[in-house]
Amino acid sequence: MSASSAFNDEKGGSSNVGEPEYGHDPASGGIFSSDYKRHDDLKEMLDSNKDSLKLEAMKRIVAMIARGKNASDLFPAVVKNVACKNIEVKKLVYVYLVRYAEEQQDLALLSISTFQRGLKDPNQLIRASALRVLSSIRVTIIVPIMMLAIKEAASDMSPYVRKTAAHAIPKLYSLDPEQKDCLIEVIEKLLADKTTLVAGSVVMAFEEVCPERIDLIHKNYRKLCNLLIDVEEWGQVVIINMLTRYARTQFLNPNMNESLLEEGGGEKAFYGSDNDDDTDDEEDKEEKEKKKTEATAIVKRKPYVMDPDHRLLLRNTKPLLQSRNAAVVMAVAQLYFHLAPKAEVGVIAKALVRLMRSHSEVQYVVLQNVATMSIKRRGMFEPYLKSFYIRSTDPTQIKVLKLEVLTNLANETNISTILREFQTYIKSNDKDFVAATIQAIGRCATNIGEVRDTCLNGLVQLLSNRDELVVAESVVVIKKLLQMQPEQHSDIIKHMAKLTDNIQVPMARASILWLIGEYCEHVPKIAPDVLRKMAKTFTNEEDIVKLQIINLAAKLYLTNSKQTKLLTQYVLNLAKYDQNYDIRDRARFIRQLIVPTDKSGALSKYAKKLFLALKPAPVLESPFKDRDHFQLGSLSHLLNAKAGGYQVLPDWPEAAPDPSVRNVEIEEVITSSEGRIGLLGDRREVPEWTKCSSREKRKEKKADKPFYSDSEGESGPTESADSDTASGSESGGGSEESGSGSESEESNEESESASEEDEEEEGKKKKKNVEKIKARKPVPESESEQSSGEDEKKSEKKSKPRIGSTESESEENGDSESESSESEEEESEEESEEETKKKKKTTASKPPSKPPKKENKKEKKEMSLLDFDDFDPAPSPSQVTPLNNFLSSSLVTDLEGLSLTDNVLSPTTIVPSGNLKTYELLHRITGEGLSVEYCFSRQPFSPDPHMVAVKIQFINSATSEAKSLHMEDTKLQSGMRIKEFPEIEVLPAGETLSVVMGIDFCDSTQAANFQLCTHTRKFFVSIQPPVGELMMPIFMTENEFKKEQGQLMGMNEITEKLTLEEKCQGEHAVVQRVTAAANLSRVPCGSDKECRFAGKTVTSGSLVLVSVVTKEDGAAQLTVNCEKMVIGTMLVKDILQALTQ
């Protein structure tokens, strides 16, 4: 505690006197008064104004907590500092609060408002930490506040905050289980999250709150599989364990066919070793027959084909065997053990053996699991036999486990090596281990017939060992072995009979006596003698030995009553007066049975049969047998008892449940993971492996294709799937020859098939072409010819369907901005054909290769006005408003005409497209003649409505032409996506060209970085959106606006007072400036003192409401209501700036 002592030096006087005590054990004093005094001192420090004093006090308090001392009486003094500005003090106060809030509930409530404020902070880390502490305060009263905060945070734009929300869920659940339903909703929402940061935490929450709701996983299954490798290691463990359980409920047993055969095979080996050679042939025959019948049974069954999702899981978890984290490796290993086809399980052996090098605790757990696995799949670990050899320095528990594994691995071929190893172990000083070794030898001997004699001889040699424990253990094991074939080993029995003089260990003595009694016929001379000796020492024996003496006497009496009658009676008499009631009972019972008296019952006739019945040999089993009904790697498995909260690993289903439940839009997942790879990818070498991996993903995607259509090539495809793939291939063909224009017949056919599927696949994921067809459906036939041709081409390149393809000419034109550039890089034939078509149809259209910017915009505006009557509702159900977004502004104007207050009608309500602000992407000088500008065109980006359209204008002011302009190596924050503009093949000198690209900024103002490449150079550029461009206008009536505004009160509302700039006074100017700052549409309003605007964020569709109330002298009040507080805050800043400057 260097800092603290140093602090004291500096401080000098005041607190110096008592100081040493604080730093060290406070309870050691034991005098209550001094204790009280010290806390007084701390309180004083906490109340002071100086942060340094507070910090010092908090440090001491936390040190007390860490030592486990009670510091709860300081609560009032500490809680006051919760709002302290100093981040260090604050942190320590949080630590304290979390520890003691439960005990001081009333006072803890004082701090809540601080956290509520923290939840609104623009810094994501502060929001996260506020939520973290708030949810850690275990006070029931704040449950509703926590619930609200969690819901809020679950839709936060920062993945880190969402992760914290996921962490908070189980906390709240443990505090108030009644919130379960609400929490499940949040979990469902978070499960759909696409970031790796959140995935692990939310699955953990899922496992704690609602592990039974396996249905929530369906939709996220593939995403989880694909993300898995990028999730942090702890999350991986949880996800893998959960997916194991999931897979057990959803897929068929991959070993279904083999398992029957295997069982037969296993039994065969078992019998083979148990019985002797002479019966083998028969056995074999039986086996073969059995197999045959089984085989026929299998043939009757449907051939097993692995579900592609099952395969996906296996494939994506396999690389994690290389993780440095033992828990991850174990998780994958258990997944393979429980889910993989038998032939593939072997891959995990190597990784598990590697873990054996780790810390002894890791070894301990791994060996437990290996022991269980090695019973089921012995072959898997056989090559690593030597890795399980025991060193004298291993802890005993490890030695015993290794021994267990070695025993399980023993078979005819390796038994000699193993026995040689065992011989070394028997000499060990660790007697527990020696005993375990002897038992292991016994088990080897029972399982492997060939070595039984060798083992027996070895064990008999051990009988002369000096250590009694070793001898005793040997005796017990020999007894078990002899029971299998007593007749051949009467000399061993004789030898053991001699040992009774020396061996003192009761268990061993008892075993010998039992042996002699059981096989007294083989040693007729010795047996009575042994009984004689035992009768002499009877009173001094242990109970267990006494019981065996009685048994021996009884058996001898039955076989050889002449010699032993008196002895037996003597023993029984002794037993009659024994202190142990068990022994007395036994003696009484046996006397009645064997000694014939006049009233002896029917039983005595059968006494011989009762006592000398043939007893089955004991089976020496591994304690790990059948442990695998617990999920491996789990605590329950380790303890061999169900631990609290253990989820039973279900059995495979008889028939696979519908695999289509897992069908989801897959594109997004892929793009996000590609983004990640791209981000990691290095700059120069990118193409090589990023492309390779993305190609792989593509391939995967292709391979996956059949599964979202419910069919897999080789497995029996269902009918609907059939039609689906058929239509897919058709349209594929269509797109190839798109230049020639697909026939309307074809598209008719397609739309028919699509409509059929629509009904079937409602709510499911659709193949892109299906969706495309759907989008095209309402298009009148006459026009579909052209649009379909184009559409196909587009949708083949972009993974998203185009929505608003229509017959309108002007729209065609407006789109040409993007399309033309696209078509440029398509085959020229295609292009020219299309263009001629267009020219024919659209008189006003210009050659699309170089459309002047301004005109284009006019056209666009025109288009949007004209377009009104044939917009399509967007197909995505998540759309908040049925209105097509880019029409909303025009709609506003149209509808405003209808509104009661004509006076507000103003042309500026429409986004002033003319004065779009352009930003520089690449300067002419740095770009070597190529200058690039971009602006936010405020048009919806048709391939993906969740993207912001960015128009990029290339101006080639160099003397030579620029070739192959394209973008590369996008670096995005997680969750962000980018839709690249198509490559521009040639940009002649002096020419200008515009293209449109889409960026999903994820409702954040993080910049999208990428490289702009020409055929010669690469330029690093980045696009950063102003917050106003992250939204799009929506139309609302006044009432709707008021209603929505009413719902977005509290922390979602931000109000600022401002003074309008001179030029800006007047409604018109205000409207203009606000709409220039943010992409919002005006909402009609009854008063001319107030202007209202509405919009929603592009990615998540959260409402953004703005109102400006003007007062006298240019004073005004700005109110922004937005669910996303960060966006709200930033927007306020931007609009303020726009209005005051």
Partner 1 sequence: MINSLFLINASGDIFLEKHWKSVVSRSVCDYFLEAKEKALEPEDVPPVIHTPHHYLISIYRDKLFFLSVIQTEVPPLFVIEFLHRVAEMIQDYFGECSETVVKDNMVMVYELLEEMLDNGFPLATESNVLKEMIRPPTILRSVVNTLTGTSNVGDTLPTGQLSTIPWRRAGVKYTNNEAYFDVVEEIDAILDQSGTTVFAEIQGVVEACVKLSGMPDLTLSFMNPRLLDDVSFHPCVRYKRWESERVLSFIPPDGNFTLMTYHVNAQNLVAIPVYVKQSISFFESGSGGRLDVTVGPKQTMGKTVEGVVVTVHLPKTILSINLTATQGSYTYDNGTKLLVWDIGKLNPQKLPNLRGSLSLQAGAPKPEENPSLNIDLKIQQLAISGLKVNRLDMFGEKYKPFKGVKYITKAGKFQVRT
d(CA 902, CA 674): 52
In the bound complex, what is the minimum distance in angstroms from residue 88's beta carbon to partner 1? Answer: 4
Q: Does 143 bind partner 1 (CB under 8 A)?
A: no
In the region spanning residues 319 to 348, those forming contacts with partner 1, defined by CB under 8 A, are: 319, 322-327, 329-331
Taking the complex as a whole, how short is the minimal distance between the CB of residue 487 and partner 1, in angstroms? 34
- Spatial distance between the Cα atoms of 12 and 6, rounded to a whole number of angstroms: 10
- Which of these segments, 76-84, 306-314, 393-401, 1112-1120, binds partner 1 (CB under 8 A)? 393-401
Q: Please name the residues in contact with 277: beta carbons below 8 A apart, sequence gap of 6 or more.
A: 449
Site for partner 1 in 462-501 (CB under 8 A): 466-467
Of 125-133, 259-267, 437-445, 786-794: span binding partner 1 (CB under 8 A): 125-133
What 3-state DSSP class applies to 611? helix
- Per-residue interface string for the shown chain with partner 1, residues 354-383, x marking contact by CB under 8 A: x--x-xxxx-xxx-----------------
Closest distance of CB 220 from partner 1, Å: 19
Sign of CA dihedral 651, 655, 656, 660: negative
Task: Please return the burial class of 413, using the count of CB atoms within 10 Å of its CB with bins 0-12, 13-18 and 19+.
Answer: exposed
Instruction: Please identify which residue in 28, 33, 296, 393 interacts with partner 1, judged by CB under 8 A.
Output: 393
Q: Does 1030 bind partner 1 (CB under 8 A)?
A: no
Fill in the per-residue mask, 241 to 260: x = in contact with partner 1 (CB under 8 A), - = not in contact. x-------------------
Strand order of the β-sheet with 1008-1013 is: 984-987, 962-971, 1008-1013, 1018-1023
- The only residue of 351, 403, 478, 510 in contact with partner 1, by rule CB under 8 A: 351
Instruction: State the DSSP H helix or E strand holding residue 953, giving kind and residue range, or none if neither.
Output: strand 948-956
Which of 76, 177, 265, 645: binder of partner 1 (CB under 8 A)? 645
Residue list 414-433, contact with partner 1 (CB under 8 A): 421, 424, 427-429
Nearest to 1083 by CA among 1091, 1075, 1073: 1091
Contacting range for partner 1; rule: CB under 8 A; set: 233-241, 819-827, 860-868, 884-892: 233-241
Of 934 and 1001, nearer to partner 1 (C-beta) is 1001
8 A C-beta contact, residue 477 and residue 509: no
> Within its chain, how far is the Cα of 863 from the centroid?
47
How far is Cα 22 from Cα 43, in angstroms, rounded to an integer?
Answer: 13
Contact call for residue 171 and partner 1 (CB under 8 A):
yes
**Which of 35, 52, 105, 919 touches partner 1 (CB under 8 A)?**
52
Nearer to partner 1, 204 or 405 (CB): 204
Residues 139 and 1083: their CA atoms lie apart, in Å, by 44
**Does the footprint of partner 1 cover residue 122 (CB under 8 A)?**
no
The string of DSSP letters for 389-406 reads: PPPTTS-HHHHHHHHHHH
Q: Please report, as residue ranges, which positions from 77 to 96 form the binding site for partner 1 (by CB under 8 A).
A: 87-88, 91-92, 95
Report in angstroms the alpha-carbon separations of 995 from 11, 790, 823, 936.
67, 17, 11, 12
Determine which residue in the list 140, 174, 926, 1024 makes contact with partner 1, applying CB under 8 A. Answer: 174
CB-nearer residue toward partner 1: 463 or 482 = 463
Which residues in the 605-634 window bind partner 1 by CB under 8 A? 633-634
Tell me which residues in 673-712 interact with partner 1 (CB under 8 A).
676, 679-680, 682-685, 689, 692-693, 696
Residues 743-802 that bind partner 1 (CB under 8 A): none
Distances (CA, A) of 518 to 472, 521, 549: 19, 8, 12
Residue 102 interacts with partner 1 (CB under 8 A): yes or no? yes
CB of 148 to partner 1, least distance (A): 19
**Is residue 1018 part of the contact set for partner 1 (CB under 8 A)?**
no
The nearest distance, CB 175 to partner 1, in angstroms, is 10
Q: Is 387 in the site for partner 1 (CB under 8 A)?
A: yes
Assess 239 for contact with partner 1 (CB under 8 A). no
- Please report whether residue 585 would count as binding partner 1 according to CB under 8 A: no
**Residue whose CB is less far from partner 1, 11 or 290:** 11
Establish if 159 lies at the interface with partner 1 (CB under 8 A). Answer: yes
Of 203 and 1091, which has the nearer Cβ to partner 1? 203
Q: Is 854 exposed, middle or buried (0-12, 13-18, 19+ CB in 10 A)?
A: exposed
- Of the pair 390, 874, the CB lying nearest partner 1 is at 390
Query: Which are the contacts of 260, defined by CB distance < 8 A and separation ≥ 6?
Result: 294, 297, 298
CA-CA distance, 147 to 154, in Å (whole number)? Answer: 11
Q: Which stretch binds partner 1 (CB under 8 A): 51-59, 571-579, 701-709, 1109-1117?
A: 51-59
In the bound state with partner 1, the residue whose beta carbon lies nearer, of 641 and 1115, is 641
Rounded CA-CA distance 436/433 in Å is 5
396 interacts with partner 1 by CB under 8 A: yes
Closest separation in Å from C-beta 204 to partner 1: 5
Pairing outcome for strands 1081-1083 and 1090-1097: antiparallel
951 forms beta bridges with 935, 996
- CA gap 52, 45 in Å, rounded: 9
Q: In the range 871-890, which residues lie near partner 1 by CB under 8 A?
A: none
Interface positions, 951-1010, toward partner 1 (CB under 8 A): 974
- Would you count residue 833 as binding partner 1 (CB under 8 A)? no
Strand order, beta sheet including 977-979: 918-922, 930-940, 948-956, 992-1000, 977-979
Residue 1033, classed as helix, strand or coil, is strand
Give 48's Cβ-side CA count (13 Å radius).
16
Number of other CB atoms surrounding residue 727 within 10 Å = 23
DSSP string, 428-442: -S-HHHHHHHHHHHH
Cα(972)–Cα(1006) distance, integer angstroms: 8
Q: Looking only at residues 270 through 329 of this chain, which bind partner 1 when binding is defined by CB under 8 A?
A: 319, 322-327, 329
What is d(CA 530, CA 524) in angstroms, rounded to the nearest whole number?
Answer: 11
Choices 164-172, 578-586, 792-800, 833-841 (CB under 8 A): range interacting with partner 1: 164-172
The contact mask relative to partner 1 for 198-217 (x = CB under 8 A, - = no) is ---x--x-------------
Size of the residue set binding partner 1 (CB under 8 A): 114
Residue 1094 contacts partner 1 per CB under 8 A? no
Q: How far is the CB of 692 from partner 1 (least distance, A)?
A: 7
